[in-house]
Amino acid sequence: MTDIAHSAQLTALLAALRRAFVGEARPEGAAGDELHRVAKLIAAADEQPGPLRPTSHPVTAHLPEVLARAEPRVPELAAALRPIASALPWRYGYAPRADAPGLESAMAWAELIGPLAPIVSTKVCFGLTLIGPHSFYPPHRHPAVELYRIVVGEPLWTVATSTSPQNPGALIFHDRDVVHAMRTGAAPLLAIYSWTGDLNTASVWA
């Protein structure tokens, strides 16, 4: 696959992700305000992507199931993701922890827009998070303001002290430094995420 072919596929994927992320109705309150802000920043960052550097991360083993689950609900996004999903820059960046062995193989994210991403922006990060089934992403926090839009999966989602089941299509807002955690069940989780604000301070275990 040439860089030019990847570039066209990545541009198509970003367009599909933007539509799925923004959705059809603007939510009330802080989540809606942040969604509007992110949409404008993503549009401003829209440019020719740089080359992809695939990472062969083991989380890509879950892509066939994720694509099969996405196909009926979001066929346009599934079609855009399918040809390039395994070539995205999936990575994991946390320190190891003894109580979560194998987490570094069970989850990863692929940043498509951001300071170090194929499309460079210093104002917004935008990409995909993928977590395998029966996995726990332990409590963590970061100073960036975060949004997630669930594409696939029915995870249990904790924000501060509140835990609730979530479904595809849900939009979840994490204000700066709010502790959050996710637990997947039988299905893997694929979600679109954004960060604004402090993009340079990494997420840390809470």
Which region among 27-35, 117-125, 127-135, 143-151 touches Fe ion (by CB under 5 A)? 143-151
Closest to 75 in 3D by CA, of 138, 16, 142, 147: 16
Contacts of 101 (CB under 8 A, 6+ apart): none
3-state secondary structure of 13: helix
3-state secondary structure of 199: coil
Give the number of other CB atoms < 10 A from CB of residue 52.
20
Residue placing its CB nearer to Fe ion in the complex, 104 or 146: 146
CA atoms of 195 and 45, how far apart (whole Å): 14
Residue placing its CB nearer to Fe ion in the complex, 9 or 121: 121
Which region among 1-9, 36-44, 88-96, 140-148 touches Fe ion (by CB under 5 A)? 140-148
Among 112, 124, 146, 171, binds Fe ion (CB under 5 A): 146
The phi, psi pair for 157, rounded to 5°, reads -125, 125
Identify the burial level of 119 via C-beta atoms within 10 angstroms of its C-beta, where 0-12 means exposed, 13-18 middle and 19 or more buried: buried
CB of 38 to Fe ion, least distance (A): 14
Residue placing its CB nearer to Fe ion in the complex, 34 or 146: 146
Which region among 10-18, 28-36, 70-78, 138-146 touches Fe ion (by CB under 5 A)? 138-146
Give the number of other CB atoms < 10 A from CB of residue 172.
19
Work out whether 34 is an interface residue with Fe ion (CB under 5 A). no
CB of 180 to Fe ion, least distance (A): 6
CB of 192 to Fe ion, least distance (A): 13
- For Fe ion, the nearest residue by Cβ is 146
Q: Which of residues 58-87 bind Fe ion (CB under 5 A)?
A: none
Binding site residues, Fe ion, CB under 5 A = 146
